[in-house]
Amino acid sequence: MYYLNKAMKVIGLTGGIGSGKSQFAKYLAELGAAVIDADRLGHEVLKSTDVKNELVAAFGKNILNSEGEVDRSRLGALVFDDRKAIEKLNAITRPRIFQRVRDRLEEEKKKGTRVAVIEAPLLIEAQWLSAINQTWVVTASEDTILKRLKKRGGLPQEQMRARIRAQMPNAERLKHADVVIKNDGSPDELKETARRLWNKLGST
């Protein structure tokens, strides 16, 4: 593992939509972790000229908005439930995102950071496990996830269920998990779990 070293622990944090992994990452950041948000880096990648040109060549100009930037909603709708299109998109974007993740890890190591967390919903699917010391998976029941997504609004329940089932099943994620965070309770309970796991990291 390229990043394994005694100076800095690297945690890969993942989980499905509505699991609460972003909130958990926020709590870890409050405790002192350097959180690297892979989704945010993905947004940055889509704004780069070379990636934009490759995506237009692959999927057409309809993926661009009126400002000439990649519209993530249009792109997502185009590739959703189309395996070949998703593979094409991943081949263009994932290597660039991972390079940015690696660059951020190098920066954190130079700063003397003790714990870095890569928050990535597709951590396992993207095969980034070689960059981390431990994989932490946040889970929640489908009923809990649907309630959370309903609060966010915007999608009918059947579409929400379709998005949940289009993801990697939790059973598959758990095969790779070193730590499982069950998040069907309150935010305070999740925060306490983050504190407990953080303290445990300090003792290992």
Give tens-digit pLDDT for 164-187.
887 888 889 999 999 999 999 999
Give tens-digit pLDDT for 19-53.
999 999 999 999 999 999 999 999 999 999 999 99
Beta bridge partners of 181: 138
Average pLDDT score over the chain: 90
Q: Over 70: is that where the pLDDT of 3 sits?
A: no
Max mean pLDDT range (56-70, 75-89, 146-160): 56-70
Percentage of the chain exceeding pLDDT 90 = 73
**Terminal Cα distance for the chain, rounded:** 18
Using CA atoms, how far apart are residues 181 and 68, in angstroms rounded to an integer?
40
Give tens-digit pLDDT for 93-117.
999 999 999 999 999 999 999 999 9
Minimal CA–CA distance to 198: which of 183, 181, 184, 182? 181
pLDDT at residue 149, rounded to an integer: 86
Minimal CA–CA distance to 131: which of 110, 100, 155? 100
pLDDT at residue 2, rounded to an integer: 43
Q: Over 90: is that where the pLDDT of 158 sits?
A: no
pLDDT at residue 119, rounded to an integer: 97
Domain architecture of the chain: domains with CATH? 9-202 (3.40.50.300)
Using CA atoms, how far apart are residues 37 and 17, in angstroms rounded to an integer?
15
pLDDT at residue 19, rounded to an integer: 94
- Report whether 3 contacts 101 (CB < 8 A): no
Given strand 134-139, what is the order of strands in its sheet? 34-37, 115-119, 9-15, 134-139, 179-182
